[in-house]
Amino acid sequence: MQLDPAEMHPVLNRLKRARGQLDAVIKSIESGQECRVAVHNLATVSRALDRAGFAIISKALQYHLQDAEHPATEDDLKELEKLFLSLA
């Protein structure tokens, strides 16, 4: 399944925010801030990336469930399961 950039707009926004948060992690380390600041920001980035991944998988599932012309095959479902588990 190809990703539709229009449908992925919220995911792209989330990824861009995560990129900004990652920049904050890098700056906090470079400036010698307390470790809790860096770890807190890093945890935020990690959650944002996971949520973006889950949103992408969700769109793929919706695509296969709603598209009568291209129903999900057993291989499609196995691939989606692998993708899902890779984020766990």
pLDDT tens figures, 70-81: 777 888 888 888
Each residue of 3-49: pLDDT tens digit? 788 888 999 999 999 999 999 999 999 999 898 988 998 999 999 99
The two structure tokens encoding residue 37 = 């600041």
Q: Determine if the pTM surpasses 0.85.
A: no
Q: Which domains does the chain show, CATH number per domain?
A: 9-86 (1.20.58.1000)
pLDDT recorded at residue 63: 81
Measure the N-to-C terminal CA separation of the chain; round to a whole number of Å. 22
1 pLDDT exceeds 70?
Answer: no
